[in-house]
Amino acid sequence: MKTLDDSGRAKLQFPFDGLQKTRWSNLPTGIFERKGLRMGDLSAAQRAAVTDLLTAALSRDGYRKVTEIIGGDEALHKVNGGPPGGGPPGGNRVIFGEDEYYLAFLGPPSTTSPWMLQFGGHHLAINLTMMGSQNSMTPSLPATQPAKYTVEGREIRPLGKENDKAFALINALEASQRSQAILAYKVSDLVLGPGHDGETIQPEGIRASALTPAQQAMLLDLIHEWVGIVTDAFAAPRMAEITATLPQTWFAWSGPTTNGSMAYFRIQGPTLVIEYAPQRSLDHIHTIYRDPTNDYGAKFVKP
Amino acid sequence: MSRTDRLRQGYSESAEALRATAEVLLHSVLLLILASVPLSAHRLDEYLQAARIGIDPDRVQIELDLTPGVDVARTVVAEVDRNRNHAVDADEAQTYAARVARDVGLELDGRLLVLHEVSRHFPAVVDVLKGEGTIRLLWTARAPGLAPGTHRLVYRNDHHADIGAYLANALVPASARVAVTAQRRDVGQHQIAIEYELR
């Protein structure tokens, strides 16, 4: 905040309770209007301050994931989104790229009062609510397009571990377990994506109580890909909570089970919803991470 | 030094390197080897129709979100905005909501239920054309006097089967008297049969 002038601070700061809390989306600028501090409007020093903030709030792997998602969007920008660009009929031009990510604070940063760090853009929404040592990084939406790209000969897969660990788990199940886990219908999108706060659907698939200890460990490792986006000190109690309710957690799968195929999966427990939904392409993935009991810190933020 | 402290120190030391890596990543995209990346496709040519079904002891509630993709948005707008004034007035909204309701069927234990509209929301035409607009319809159907025991609710949606992509899910019932025991769908989720116990 010290790197900003009054105008910048005014763009950054929102009331804790207000419309900004739910103003997040997977959609790009031009289709969805975000508010906050736009990365493209910042000086190098201000961008460095944002980076410092994100490296403090996120784990090493979480920060990697976020930057790779943004890198993917920058790839879209270079290929498709540069001026003059196309756009939807009757609307504004769709804009991709690293400049189109926004930072917002809801409530003033505090060690005692609730506040929220919101960072997002196309295919990314991080909503981190904090009050003292309590925190909730739900709802959050890590997604990516492209799902795989190459930088200087290095292959980048922002959500590659999520994909690979899920396929490893479904293939670690016995046939009878798999028949419970695999849904007999196609799931073409997130069920509880943006705009579906406060909804809890009936769980389906196989209960984790029907998994072996090794399979349960694989499931927890998969869950950690979302929980572990946030810094380790915040992720640890959350993982403990999820582990404690693992027997009541469900794993559901829709689609083929050979890695490299297009498949949807959902993990749902008393305090957890994770969905992974390819968007009719292996190269375009949406995911959502929720805690139906504690989205936006509902447990520790009492009205 | 504790293990946690060592991890923190290691993290701190690596943060700078990580940032440098990220900067290289973000500024090296010109060198990307990308055969072809299609323009970000957010369900461009489909009409997503997502239903959430709430079951109470004496009624059923259907929330249906209808989101046309950019490539089919003009088709849907033409059906809604019949006077083509680029706005959806109350009559047009009512007419379209009634059309959707005719395409949706709801049966309880083999009996047709009548849907009563509770609310409807139509976004601005410009938002629909951008692929962002979601039409939201909420219906309720009365199911009074149900006996305790097993019941079977069937929801079916045939609205715009030519371009539709469907989701249908039972919500966790708000009443402790209702417990969903099974959900069965066809492959495309046009139809869902929900079995539940009423206590």
Q: How confident is the model at residue A92 (pLDDT cuts 50, 70, 90)?
A: low
Element (H, E) at A156: strand A154-156
The answer to whether the CB atoms of B39 and A279 lie below 8 A apart is no
Read off the pLDDT of each residue in A12-33 and give the average, rounded to a whole number: 91
pLDDT at B122 over 90: yes
**Interface touch A94/B26, C-beta < 8 Å:** no
pLDDT over 80 at B11, yes or no: no
Name the residue among A63, A90, A201 with its Cβ closest to that of B171.
A201
Q: Which of B3, B18, B25 to mutate: most A Cβ within 10 Å? A: B25
Query: What is the reported pLDDT for B42?
Result: 57
What mean pLDDT do residues B87-109 have?
96
Tens-place pLDDT, residues A205-219: 999 999 999 999 999
Q: What pLDDT does residue A42 have?
A: 95
B 150-189: CB under 8 A from A = 165-167, 169-172, 180, 183-189
A240 Cβ contact list (under 8 Å, min separation 6): none
Q: Which of B55, B66, B148 is nearest to B103 (CA)?
A: B66
Inspect the interface and report whether the beta carbons of B37 and A79 lie closer than 8 Å: yes
Q: Is the pLDDT of residue B113 over 50?
A: yes
Q: Over the stretch A190-207, which tens digit does the pLDDT of each residue have?
A: 999 999 999 999 999 999
Q: Report the chain B residue with the minimal C-alpha distance to residue A189.
A: B167
Spans of all domains in chain B:
1-37, 47-198
> For position A179, what pLDDT does the model report?
97
| A242 pLDDT more than 80 | yes
Listed in sequence order, the DSSP H helices in A95-231 are 160-172, 175-181, 213-227
A33 touches chain B (CB under 8 A): no
- All structural domains of chain A with their residue ranges: 6-151, 158-297
For A287, phi then psi, to 5°, come to -135, 160
Q: For residue range B23-65, list pLDDT tens digits in order.
A: 544 444 433 433 333 344 456 789 999 999 999 999 999 999 9
| pLDDT score recorded for residue A77 | 82
| A301 or A163, greater pLDDT | A163
**Nearest residue, CB atoms, A151 vs list B28, B132, B172:** B28
C-beta atoms surrounding B102 within 10 Å: 11
